Each structure stands twice: as structure tokens, then as C-alpha cells.
Amino acid sequence: MTVAQPVFPHKHLLGIQELKPADITTILDLADIYVEQNRQTNKRKSILKGMTQINLFFENSTRTRMSFELAGKRLGADVINMSVSTSSIKKGETLLDTALTINAMHPDLLVMRHGNSGAVKLLSEKVSGAVLNAGDGSHEHPTQALLDALTIRRRKGRLHGLIVAICGDILHSRVARSNILLLHAMGARVRVVAPSTLLPVDVDRLGVEVFHDMKAGLKDCDIVMMLRLQLERMQGAFLPSVREYFTLYGLDLDKLSAAKPDALIMHPGPMNRGVEIDTAVADDIHRSLIQEQVEMGVAVRMACLDLLTRHARENGPAVTGGAS
Amino acid sequence: MTTAHRKILLTNARLLDPATQLDQQGQLLIEDGKISALGPDIFNGSPPDDIDIIDCQGLCLSPGFIDMRVFIGSSGAGLRNITEAAAYGGVTTIITVPRATELTDDIAVIEHTARQAEGLPINVCPMSPLTKAMAGQEMTEIGLLSQYGVTAFTDGKKPVANAQVMSRILQYAEYFDPLIIQHIEEPELAANGCVNAGEQASRLGLVGIPTIAEVIMLERDLRLLQECRTRYHAAQLTTYDALDAMRQAKKRRNGLSAGVAVPHFALNETAVGDYRTFAKLSPPLRNEMDRQAIVSALADGTIDVIVSGHDPQDPESKRLPFEQAADGVIGLETLLPLSLELYHNKSIALLDLLAKFTCNPARLLKLDTGTLAVGSPADLCIFDPDKPTTLNPDDFPSKTKNTPFEDRPVQGIVQRTLVAGKTVYEREAV
């Protein structure tokens, strides 16, 4: 290893909530190294050789699942994807029964996404391998926040003191929650910009400034982070219309002009042009980091897989304690 | 007829401005359709020659009235007739209730009404539906409509029944600061009802609407309003319990207001008598205790606004069995004389009464009229508060005559109505 052994005192990666600033720095520092490795022709390492990684996705995903798959494979693990359409859940099996079945196959790494908040933590209590949360309901999506942080840190050189505006559907967004926690922990000033119906109750208690006027919220911002309008999670009408939403909260050049001249634009994807972001802004290669975020995603996930397996790689697998 | 481009001096007037509690003899000068000065003697007894002078003969000169609840038909001709009725009644601005419509592009509906109002003698301000097609399910484009200039949203005679929908509307609307106007009636409790629940309904064999239908809906909304600062207006409060709930709520929170329609304090449920459909209203006329509670609430400020609820109905809609008949009365022509009953019987001071249909609705709707302030539009009403007369619907401009007030002796009559300095109505000398 070229890297000094960092201390990463966590068995699972369930959320940013559990991480300390030092843990976050550890992940980002290691991810920086993997960014360089991923730009080589030979992207492969074998540190996870012989280990099994199962990607367990109860919600549809393309980019996150691919990113985790690629991360595992580039580190030499055997990666298996299991998606809900082929799983036994469709046949009536409970989440915990599925977990026990999978645990019996001795996976070293379980990457899981689920539509219910807290489902990943529930699973983690029943399996012996390391569990990575790839998104649970409207709760957390820690690797997204980490890759966003890496993207920002590489462009701006720091996180501390930056003004970051997270705009749009905060209420339904696990990305927003993880990003708020991470950026706040790292000393950034976080703002949320949204109509009141798309903000969680008492969101200001999470340490953010709340804005309903987009231009006021973007004023002097270093980073504008747009979120997708999660219409599929909306029960009933939170908004009058997409037309009104785009007029008031869609990121266009006019609203962006309130931010700092060198402000950068991020979006976790998939983005909806003409809903939360204008095409001219999304395609601005000087300001849009949307492609870069995808690249950072693989590196950050490699860093997480690396760190979470170190203990097992050095000391052998943990005693199976999942069957309760 | 005087024209707007000249200077007009109104002399020998009793100037009444509820916004400033002004009540004094004097003059008022109009320039370019706006009020440019007022005082005891603006030109020191010698006004210039190029000025039109209107002698008010000692009558009251107040801001023109604002009627916050006027129903319009679908045709432009109907709207013209309504504006004529308004001018007759001293009303210079009508706030129109949206029609139930299948159209979803609400800005277009507002623009359509505004175009129909072009060239009409008085100001017409359309309110927007609060929910799409007034179906109570999805909010309208409150943000875009507010940017367009709409300041009030209501589903008219339909309440937003779904608490979740109302909660989201109140949350969402806060930032745009519109006035959210609710019809205060719990629809399940009021289902099939057509008169006030009670002894009379039982004797007539009609399904009653209980007073709790009103207080439950109001108290639900007041709870929802604890979560936000959105301005909320109870379109009409007619019951003792609901008025008391509003009175208490106003002590705890700003941005709450309430209205009442003239018939609810000028009549009680006995007006329905022998199935008189002209006295069918929504909400229904209540009992005498509730009526007295309304008068008290007007006096102590719990009710901010008096509306006519002007709602023309064809004879075909009223000549039906009571249950099937349409509700609604015409009221623009009778707004002033019936309201003045409260002044004459010493229930409320004159300026406080006038405030209910001048500066109070102007404040709620962010209108620049409803006051005698220098610079505001010369929308004015000259009236005699004491002159005795008998209400005769044949004298009214309204084509439909659905009023329960025929032959009622009243005191008070409108002498002249001006909009932007232009006389739009003048009572013929008898």
C-alpha cells in the first residue's frame, strides 16, 4: 500500500450522521488517489480479490448500481447484482428473510438501496458483512454526499467556509439530507431553497438557512446544488404545476446570475431539463460539474469499499452474528 | 357628465375617510382622475375658472365602496349589468368570485374576465380559483398568478374540504402573501341542507345545515394556520360559535380576517317563511341569536368586511321547490342602505361601518383605492345617510330581481358615484 493506514472505525456505512469530520476527510483523501488510478489504462487493483460484493437494489437504479459495480470490480471483488424485479420479495419474502438468505452466502460487502427510510440499517443488524447504504427512502445517501464533497473539494480546494445552496425538492431527497449533514459537519454554510411544501418541517434545525426566493438564496453562493423533483414520491399535490415550478425554482441563467461569478452547478442526476434546470445551464461546460460528479462517484465508492473491508482483510472475517 | 381630464372640485361635502377616521365639512379636488387635495377650503373661497364644481349639498362624501364578493355570469353582457348595479349602489370596485370552470389555464381565465371588464364603468378585480377547476384537489398556480397581480384566491361557494390539500396550500402560499379565502362550511355536515338546522327546518321538512358545520371548518383551518403566516379570510361567518372562535384566534395570530354578507345581519331564518326561495343563501340565514352575534362581531372588529354577495339568479333558478332552487340574492344596490341600519340603530359608528366596505377590503386585497388619501384614485361615493325610502327592485339596474328586501323601509341613498373622477351614476332629481 502506498497509503498510510487510516483509522476508519466503522463496520458499515449507513449514513453521514455516523461519520466524524476526520472520517469524511479519510474517505475523501483516499478517493483522491482512486481518481488518479481510474484515469490510468489499467484501472484494476486486486485488494478485494476473493471477496464477494452483492448489490441489493430494491429500487430502480442505473447510475448508482453501475458505479458501485464498477468500484467493486476495479478493486478485484466478485460483484453480483440483485434487483427487486428478480428477487424473492416479489414472491412475498420479508426483507429480513431475504437478508438471512443472502447472509448465508457469506457476502463480504452488501450495497443496498431501499425505498423505505431505515431499511438499510435494519438489514445491517442481521448480516455479518459490511453494509453500504446506497440510498434508503428519504433518509440518507451517504456516498452521493461524499462524491459531491470530493467534487467540490477538488474544484474549490476546500469545503470550509463555502456557501452551498441546495435547491428544490428537499423534502423527498435523501441526497439533500446527507449533503446537509456532511457540508455542515465540514464547516460549509448550507442554504436550502424551495417552496415551503418541499421543505421538511423544522429544516432550519438541521443547521441550514431557509430561502423561498431562489435569487435571494443563490446570492453570493459558491456552489448551486440542484435536486430532481421526485414526482414519484409525491402523494397528492405539493406544487401547482411544473410550469410554475420551473418559473420560480428552475435554475436558469437569470437566477444563476445572483450567485458568485465562479459558482459551480451540481446535480445528482438524473436531471429533468425544463423542470429544475434549464438546458443552457446544464450544458455549460465551464460551470456544470454534473459529469465530474459521476467520475468522482466511482472513486468515492472504491474508497468506501476499501476502508470498510480493511479490518476483515487484516484480521479475517467477522464471526457470523447475524442469525438472531 | 363630467370628464376625467379636467379638474373637478367637490364642495360643501361631509368628508368621510374611514382609513384616517376623518369626518369634517370640506372640499375635495380631483386632478387626472386622482384625489389631489382635500380640506375645509382648498382655494380660499375663489376656485379658478377652469374647474368643474360639484356641489355635494352637505351630503356625505366617502371613498367608493369595494364589494369583495360578487358573482358574475359567463357572458360579458351580464358583467355590464352588474357594473351598472354597482354604480347605482355607490360601489366602485367589485371583486368577482371565480366561476366553476373546467378550464385549467387559470391565468387565461383571469385575463378573460379582465378583458370583459374593459370599458365598463367601474373597477373589476377577478379573484382566482384556489384549486384547479375548483375541485378541491390541486392548488392553482398561486405563484404565477400572484406575479400576474392576483391578490385573492377562493373556490367561491365551495370549501377546500381536504385538510391535506388545504394544509399544503397554506404552506405554499405563505411566501407569495396572497389572501386565501375559504367558504366556511364542512361539506359532509352540510350535505343536502338548504336552510339553517333547527325548529323551522324541522317544521318545513327541509334538511338543515347545522351551525357546527361552520365552526368545525373554521377551527380546522385555524389549526392548520398555526403552522404558517399565510393571510386567511373567512368569506362569511354567520354563527355565534364561529364568530367567537375567530374572535379568540385573532388575539393569537395576525393575518386573520372575516366577512359577512348583508342579508345575514339584515334578516334571520324566519325570512325563509313559507319556502321563500329569495331568502335561500349559502350559508343559510341563521337564527336571531346568531344574527345578533354578527352585529356584535361587526362592532368589535371580529368581522372586517361587509359584502353584498351579489348573485343574480334567473327566475327559472328560483321558481323551484325550495330544495332545488338556486341560492343567492342581488345586493349591490342595497349594500349601503341596509348596512346603514346598523348605524341608525346605533350598533356601530358610521366611519367604522364604512370601513367594512372601503379601507378594510382594500387593505386585505392590496388595492390603492378605498381611501380619500391624496394620490389615490378618485373613486368616490356621495350619499345621503338619512333620507328615508322604500326599497323597490323595479328601480334597480339589475335585470334579475332576486332580492328578499322588496318594500323594506330604509334610510340612506346614493346620490352620485365617481370612478377615477368620472361620474358613473347620478340619481335623477325627483
Tell which residue, A190, A183, A180, A277, has the closest CA to residue A228: A277
Within 8 A of A241 by CB-CB distance, chain B residues are 141
Contacts of residue B318, Cβ cutoff 8 Å, sequence gap at least 6:
B277, B278, B280, B325, B326, B402
Q: Sorting pLDDT into bands at 50, 70 and 90, what band is A269? A: confident
Within 8 A of A243 by CB-CB distance, chain B residues are 141, 144
Asked whether the predicted pLDDT for residue A1 surpasses 80, the reply is: no
Asked whether the predicted pLDDT for residue B77 surpasses 70, the reply is: no
> Which pLDDT does position B111 carry in this prediction?
86
| Out of B132, B140, B172, closest to residue A196 by CB | B172
Cell of A94: 420479508
Cβ of B138 within 8 Å of Cβ of A240? The answer is yes
Residue A314, min C-alpha distance to chain B (Å):
54
> Which pLDDT does position B76 carry in this prediction?
57
Nearest CA in chain A to B145: A244
**Residue A187: left (phi > 0), alpha (psi -120 to 50), or beta?**
left
Residue B379 CA to residue B398 CA, distance in Å, equals 21
Contacts of residue B115, Cβ cutoff 8 Å, sequence gap at least 6:
none
Asked whether the predicted pLDDT for residue A3 surpasses 60, the reply is: no
> Which pLDDT does position A153 carry in this prediction?
98
Chain B interface includes A244 (CB < 8 A)? yes
Cell of B110: 383571469
Q: Sorting pLDDT into bands at 50, 70 and 90, what band is A321? A: very low
| Out of B137, B140, B143, closest to residue A248 by CB | B143
Cβ of A212 within 8 Å of Cβ of B164? The answer is no
Nearest CA in chain B to A249: B143
Could you tell me if A65 and A81 are in contact, meaning their C-beta atoms sit under 8 angstroms apart? Answer: yes
Chain A interface includes B141 (CB < 8 A)? yes
Nearest CA in chain B to A201: B227
Nearest CA in chain A to B141: A240
Cβ of B172 within 8 Å of Cβ of A240? The answer is yes
Chain B interface includes A212 (CB < 8 A)? yes
Least confident of A129-143, B107-121, B184-198, B208-222: B107-121
Compute chain A's Rg from CA coordinates.
Answer: 20
Report pLDDT digits (tens) over B149-172: 999 999 999 999 999 999 999 999
Within 8 A of B128 by CB-CB distance, chain A residues are none
Residue of B171, B174, B180, B228 for testing the chain A interface, max A β-carbons within 10 Å? B171
Laid out side by side, the sheet with A163-167 consists of A209-211, A189-193, A163-167, A223-226, A264-266
One-letter amino acid identity for A15? Answer: G
Within 8 A of A195 by CB-CB distance, chain B residues are 143, 172, 175
Asked whether the predicted pLDDT for residue B75 surpasses 70, the reply is: no
Residue A291: enclosing H or E segment and its boundaries? Answer: helix A290-315
> Which pLDDT does position B329 carry in this prediction?
94
Cβ of B172 within 8 Å of Cβ of A239? The answer is yes
Cβ of A243 within 8 Å of Cβ of B144? The answer is yes
Average pLDDT of chain A to the nearest whole number = 91
- Looking at residues A97-102, what average pLDDT do you find? 87
Distance of CA B97 to the CA centre of its chain: 10
pTM for this prediction: 0.90
User: How many beta carbons lie within 10 A of that of residue B351, not counting itself?
Assistant: 19
Within 8 A of A212 by CB-CB distance, chain B residues are 174-175
Least confident of B25-34, B41-50, B122-131: B41-50
Report pLDDT digits (tens) over B303-324: 999 999 999 998 899 999 999 9
User: How many beta carbons lie within 10 A of that of residue B22, not counting itself?
Assistant: 16
Q: Sorting pLDDT into bands at 50, 70 and 90, what band is B102? A: low
The SS3 assignment for A264 reads strand
Report pLDDT digits (tens) over B359-393: 999 999 999 999 999 999 999 999 999 999 999 99
The SS3 assignment for A279 reads helix
Answer with the residue of higher pLDDT: A230 or A246: A246
Q: How many CB pairs under 8 A join A and B?
A: 47
> Which pLDDT does position B126 carry in this prediction?
92
Chain A interface includes B165 (CB < 8 A)? yes
Asked whether the predicted pLDDT for residue B104 surpasses 60, the reply is: no
> Which pLDDT does position A93 carry in this prediction?
78
Active site residues of A: 63-64, 91, 113, 141
Within 8 A of A238 by CB-CB distance, chain B residues are 168, 172
Longest dimension (CA), chain A: 58
Cβ of A244 within 8 Å of Cβ of B164? The answer is no
> Which pLDDT does position B5 carry in this prediction?
62
Could you tell me if B180 and B130 are in contact, meaning their C-beta atoms sit under 8 angstroms apart? Answer: yes
In chain A, % of residues over pLDDT 70:
92
Cβ of A240 within 8 Å of Cβ of B171? The answer is no
| Out of A197, A213, A241, closest to residue B168 by CB | A197
Cβ of B143 within 8 Å of Cβ of A213? The answer is no
In chain B, % of residues over pLDDT 90:
87
Cβ of A239 within 8 Å of Cβ of B164? The answer is no
Report pLDDT digits (tens) over A32-72: 999 999 999 999 899 999 999 999 999 888 899 999 999 99
Cβ of A197 within 8 Å of Cβ of B172? The answer is yes
Q: Sorting pLDDT into bands at 50, 70 and 90, what band is B430? A: low
Residue B127 CA to residue B113 CA, distance in Å, equals 10
Within 8 A of B171 by CB-CB distance, chain A residues are 196-197
Asked whether the predicted pLDDT for residue A124 surpasses 60, the reply is: yes
- Looking at residues B259-286, what average pLDDT do you find? 96
| Out of A236, A238, A244, closest to residue B143 by CB | A244
Task: State the pairing for strand pair B51-55/B7-17.
Answer: parallel
Cβ of B139 within 8 Å of Cβ of A237? The answer is yes
Residue of A244, A245, A246 for testing the chain B interface, max B β-carbons within 10 Å? A244
Residue B136 CA to residue B161 CA, distance in Å, equals 7
In three-state form (DSSP H/G/I as H, E/B as E, the rest C), the secondary structure along chain B is: CCCCCCEEEEEEEEEEECCCCEEEEEEEEEECCEEEEEECCCCCCCCCCCEEEEECCCCEEEECEEEEEEECCCCHHHHHHHHHHHHHCCEEEEEEECCCCCCCCHHHHHHHHHHHHCCCCCEEEECECCEHHHCCCCECCHHHHHHHCCCEEECCCCCCCCHHHHHHHHHHHHHHCCEEEECCCCHHHHCCCCEECCHHHHHHCCCEECCHHHHHHHHHHHHHHCCCCCEEEECCCCCHHHHHHHHHHHHHCCCEEEEEEHHHHHCCHHHHCCCCHHHCCCCCCCCHHHHHHHHHHHHHCCCCEEECCECCCCHHHHCCCCCCCCCCECCCCCHHHHHHHHHHCCCCCHHHHHHCCCHHHHHHHCCCCCCCCCCCECCEEEEEEEEEEECCHHHCCCCCCCCCCCCCEEEEEEEEEEECCEEEEECCCC
**Residue B132: left (phi > 0), alpha (psi -120 to 50), or beta?**
beta
Could you tell me if A182 and A17 are in contact, meaning their C-beta atoms sit under 8 angstroms apart? Answer: no
Cell of A42: 489499467
Nearest CA in chain A to B129: A240
> Which pLDDT does position A314 carry in this prediction?
84
Ordered domains of chain B (ranges, CATH): 64-365 (3.20.20.140)
> Which pLDDT does position B4 carry in this prediction?
47
Nearest CA in chain A to B229: A196
Asked whether the predicted pLDDT for residue B1 surpasses 50, the reply is: no
Answer with the residue of higher pLDDT: A285 or A54: A54
Distance of CA A14 to the CA centre of its chain: 11
Residue B327 CA to residue B154 CA, distance in Å, equals 18
| Out of B132, B144, B175, closest to residue A247 by CB | B144
